[in-house]
Amino acid sequence: MSLKPNLKLIAANAVLFGSLLAALACAPTPAHAERLKDLASIGGVRQNQLSGYGLVVGLDGTGDQTTQTPFTVQAIMSMLQQKGVSLPAGTQLQLKNVAAVMVTTSLPAFAQPGQNIDVTVSSMGNAKSLRGGTLLMTPLQGADGQVYAMAQGNVLVGGAGAAAGGASTQVNQLAVGRISAGATVERAVASSLGADNQIKLELNSADFATASRVVEAVNDKFGPGIATALDGRVIRVRVPSSSDQRVSFLGILENMDVKPAEAAAKVILNARTGSIVMNRAVTLDTCAISHGNLSVTIGADTQVSQPPAGSRGATAITQNPSVSVKKDAGKVIMLNGGASLAEVVKAMNAIGATPQDLLSILQALKAAGSLRAELEII
Do 99 and 123 form a contact (C-beta atoms < 8 A)? Answer: yes
pLDDT at position 55: 94
Nearest to 250 by CA among 205, 192, 198: 198
Residue 8 lies in a domain: no
List the pLDDT tens digit at each of the 378 positions of the chain. Answer: 444 444 444 344 443 334 333 433 444 444 578 899 999 999 988 899 999 999 999 998 888 887 788 888 888 888 888 888 887 776 777 788 999 999 999 999 999 999 999 999 999 988 988 999 999 999 999 999 999 999 999 999 986 666 655 566 666 778 899 999 999 999 999 888 888 899 999 999 889 999 999 999 999 999 999 999 999 999 999 999 888 999 999 999 999 999 998 888 888 888 777 777 888 788 777 777 666 654 545 455 667 777 777 677 777 777 666 555 555 665 666 656 666 656 766 766 776 677 777 777 778 878 888 788 888 888
Give whole-number Cα distances, 364 to 120, 236, 338, in Å. Answer: 45, 43, 18
- Of 100, 38, 31, nearest to 65 by C-alpha is 100
Given this model, what pLDDT does residue 168 score?
63
- Report H helices in 223-289: 243-254
Question: Sign (positive/negative) of CA torsion 200, 206, 207, 208?
Answer: positive
* Residue 27 belongs to some domain of the structure: no
The answer to the question of residue 299 being in a domain is: no
Same-domain check for residues 60 and 131: yes
CB 267 within 8 A of CB 373: yes
Domain match, 78 and 131 both: yes
**One domain, residues 80 and 131:** yes
The reply to whether 151 and 179 lie within a common domain is: yes
283 and 339 both lie in a single domain: yes
Asked if residue 304 is part of any domain, the answer here is: no
**Is the pTM for the entire model greater than 0.75?**
no
- Indicate the residue type of 207: D
In a domain, 38, yes or no: no
Identify residue 242 by its one-letter amino acid code. S
Are 202 and 250 in the same domain? yes
Triad 286, 288, 290: Cα angle to 5°: 160
Q: 150 and 57, same structural domain?
A: yes
Q: Are residues 67 and 181 in the same domain?
A: yes
195 CB-near residues (< 8 Å, 6+ apart) = none
Angle, to 10 degrees, between the axis of helix 243-254 and the axis of helix 208-222?
130
Same domain, 227 and 177: no
Closest CA to 110 of 172, 43, 191: 191
Last-in-domain residue among 236, 258, 280: 258
Looking at the structure of the chain, the number of domains it has is 3
230 shares a domain with 273: no
11 domain residue, yes or no:
no
Identify whether residues 283 and 207 lie together within a single domain: no
- DSSP for 290-351 reads EE--EEEEEEEEEEEEPPPTT-----EEEEEEEEEEEEPPPEEEEE-TTB-HHHHHHHHHHT
Give CA–CA dist 183/101, Å, rounded. 15
Q: Which of these three, 241, 258, 275, is where a domain ends?
A: 258
Of 192, 198, 196, whose CA–CA distance to 235 is shortest?
Answer: 198
Instruction: Determine, yes or no, domain membership for 41.
Output: no
Residue 29 lies in a domain: no
Report yes or no: 177 and 157 within 8 Å, Cβ to Cβ. Answer: yes
Is the domain of 149 the same as that of 123?
A: yes
Q: By residue range, what is the domain housing residue 222?
A: 192-258
